[in-house]
Amino acid sequence: MSFMTYLGKRVVRMVLSLIAVSAITFTLLQMAPGNFADIQRISAGAAQFGGAGTEDMVHAFASRYGDDIPAWRQYLIFMKGAATWDFGPSYKYPTQDVQDIIAQGFPISATIALIAVALSLMIAIPIGVYAAVRQNSAADHGTMFLITLGTALPNYLTGVILVLFFTLTLGVLPSSGWDGPQHMIMPVLALVLGPTAVLARYVRSSMLETLREEYVVAALAKGGPRATVITRHALGNSLIPIVTVLGPLLAALMTGTVFVEALFRIPGLGLYFAQAAASRDMPLLMGTALFFALILMTMNLIVDLVYGYLDPRIRAAGGVNRWRRSQKNPQQQPA
Amino acid sequence: MSASSLEVEGLRTEFVLRDRVLRVVDDVSFTVKPGRALAIVGESGSGKSVTMRSVMRLLPKTGRVAGGRARLGGTDLLGLSERQMRKVRGRDIGMVFQNAMEALNPTLTLERQLTEHLLWHGVCDRAEAKRRAIQTLGDVGIPEPEQRIRTYPFQLSGGMRQRAMIATAMVTQPSVLIADEPTTAVDVTVQRQLLDLLAQLKARGTGVIMITHDLGVARYFCDDAIVMYAGRVVERGPIRQLLERPAHPYTAGLFSSTLEVGARHRPLQPVPGAPPDLAHRPPGCAFHPRCGQAEQRCGQEEQPLLPWSEDGQREVACWKAVQHV
């Protein structure tokens, strides 16, 4: 199986999954009580719609947005649009198309997420390796205690502490908005702690497992300096399981973090997603849900490709064709 | 370096547990001369592997060498700094492990694993290292070494992997090779080929230490043997004499518990019981609870390793055997 066939199969599977996700999301939303008009009526009062009878208003609203036709037709209309990346206008922001909202919000959320995860990795890998190499020492217990603390601290709380310190006490960073790198620092820092804690734990346990492998002893027996053996022989192999965690983690952060975006008033995707859910803004909700699924699947695909890059056994079994030679070898064992 | 003897004298290794100290290797001595092969025989848990890890100074964190010497060409390895010791590992003493699938890194190519220690030790540059690696792979009988060097361990068959493992140890031309059960994980036909390969190495002047519980393998390949039980040497001597006329009841027991083709007349008699837990070492001779010939004395007094043959080549640690001389 060549690489392109492999990739093709994966993409087909992704499309089928997306259709399934859309159908399930749509059905669940239809089954849930209440709709956009109801919620608007309750939260804003009927006056906004001219003060007429509320029932009439809801009907007017429904016909305006097509909510009066059968659900299955609504779904088909939506999917026809979705196929061409056109989700139609949002209920709540009628002047904007959903795909435009995504196009505006996603780069912002993704930038913060990528920087935060990269930073997390840079902190978590050395910490995890250090703790593993000094297993059961005071240093190990100490770092792991701090890490547990990090996991327990929610990011909005970290965010508040950061604002208190950098904005109110030092006055060096703006507390809200999105205009240049100085606006990125605090959101990124607020987001870094959680993933760092999770990743450091994974790195530590994975590293501990690898350090017990016989090839590590064998490398030492060949006269390898300890640091070299740890970085070249142990680290590479212990990072393979980390990649698995990384995919969903990146996907979750890239599609927006509600609390942090709300706290720092960042026009990211998370904020829109939360508002869409609260106000039952169907197009926006369906659009963002599908987009989230798409990002998650893409991340998982990337993870699998990175796997192949890191582990030649997976490369051979998964069918990246550079290793065709080994496939022909009847003695080769599957990974 | 070539043609140096490894002389181990009175080696003691301990494991420090939470509340006590276990002596895992107790007063073990042996010599491996260039071009000779020594078998270290014993059941699992007898301290064979720990002895060799002590010499290589690759004990786990809880282990420590408590006494003795391990001289290689006059230098005591146990007194070297870690930095100096690193230069001995892999260059002067090579190590072959039981299972190449586990002892070779699954995600690194053979090239990397065959050349990296040449570079660590500054033996030669990368290009020369690769040339030597290909040469050695060919020497151990791997076909198309130029292509195979680019593959990963999992792409080789079990026998080929074990050969590659041996090549890894051979490529630096060490004066001593430690082989820890090198043929246990492969089938019999491959076993024979690997032993012949090690024999070539021996013929070129490498001293070989083979840790094994397979007496057939030991007899085929080794010149001398020490038999270990519960961390101590219970018998030593030239392997043929040892197998023809074992002096220690444990050696005799090991021999009669080994299956051998063409020895149908000999009944298979496993040694009864299990090796002792070192935390509860029996008093006197550690073997006496399992020994068919044990007397009262065996459970009371420790017996030292005493000469058993007139030429002094054989020694045994058994009261009863010494009485018979």
Q: How many domains does chain A have?
A: 1
Please report whether residue B105 resides in a domain: no
Please report whether residue A5 resides in a domain: no
Please report whether residue A228 resides in a domain: yes
Please say if the pLDDT value at position B67 is more than 60: yes
Please say if the pLDDT value at position B262 is more than 70: no
Please report whether residue A225 resides in a domain: yes
Q: How many domains does chain B have?
A: 1
Please report whether residue B122 resides in a domain: no
Q: Are A237 and A216 in contact (CB under 8 A)?
A: no
Please report whether residue A229 resides in a domain: yes
Angle subtended by helix axes A54-65 and A36-44, to nearest 10: 140
Q: Are strands B232-238 and B224-229 parallel, antiparallel or unpaired?
A: antiparallel
Domain residue limits at B41:
6-92+174-324
Q: What is the CATH number of the domain that holds B215?
A: 3.40.50.300
Q: Within 13 A of B322's CA, how many CA atoms are on the CB side?
A: 14
Name residues 25-64 of chain B within 8 A of A (Cβ).
56, 58
Q: For residue A233, give the chain B residue with the closest CA.
A: B105
Q: Which residue has the higher pLDDT, B99 or B267?
A: B99
What residues of chain B lie within 8 A of the CB of A311, using their CB? 106-107
pLDDT reported for residue B78? 94
Q: Are A310 and B139 in contact (CB under 8 A)?
A: no
Helix (H) or strand (E) run with residue B169 in it = helix B158-170
Please report whether residue B51 resides in a domain: yes
* A215 to B106: CB separation less than 8 angstroms, yes or no: yes
pLDDT reported for residue A41? 66
pTM above 0.90, yes or no: no
Q: How confident is the model at residue A282 (pLDDT cuts 50, 70, 90)?
A: confident
Q: For residue A237, give the chain B residue with the closest CA.
A: B107
Q: Which runs of consecutive H residues, i.e. helices, occur in chain A?
A: 3-31, 36-44, 54-65, 71-83, 98-133, 138-152, 155-162, 185-211, 214-221, 226-228, 236-254, 258-263, 269-279, 282-310, 312-318, 324-328
Angle subtended by helix axes A36-44 and A269-279, to nearest 10: 90
Task: Tell whether B95 is within 8 A of chain A (Cβ).
Answer: yes
- ipTM of the predicted structure? 0.89
pLDDT reported for residue A200? 93
Q: How many CB pairs under 8 A join A and B?
A: 86
Q: Which residue has the higher pLDDT, A86 or B70?
A: B70
From the candidates A215, A309, A311, A333, which should be mutated to test the interface with B, based on the most B CB atoms within 10 A?
A: A215
Q: How confident is the model at residue B132 (pLDDT cuts 50, 70, 90)?
A: very high
Please report whether residue A39 resides in a domain: no
Domain residue limits at A140:
98-269
What residues of chain A lie within 8 A of the CB of B179, using their CB? none
Compute the average pLDDT of residues A219-224: 94
Task: Tell whether B312 is within 8 A of chain A (Cβ).
Answer: no
Q: What is the CATH number of the domain that holds A243?
A: 1.10.3720.10
The rounded mean pLDDT for chain A is 83
pLDDT in tens, A62-113: 666 666 678 888 888 888 888 888 888 888 787 888 889 999 889 999 999 9
Please say if the pLDDT value at position B1 is more than 50: no
What residues of chain A lie within 8 A of the CB of B152, using their CB? 312-313, 316, 326
Q: Are strands B37-41 and B224-229 parallel, antiparallel or unpaired?
A: parallel
Q: Within 13 A of A107's CA, how many CA atoms are on the CB side?
A: 6
pLDDT in tens, A317-330: 654 444 344 434 43
Helix (H) or strand (E) run with residue B85 in it = helix B82-88
* A221 to B56: CB separation less than 8 angstroms, yes or no: yes
Please report whether residue B256 resides in a domain: yes
* A221 to B120: CB separation less than 8 angstroms, yes or no: no
pLDDT reported for residue A150? 81
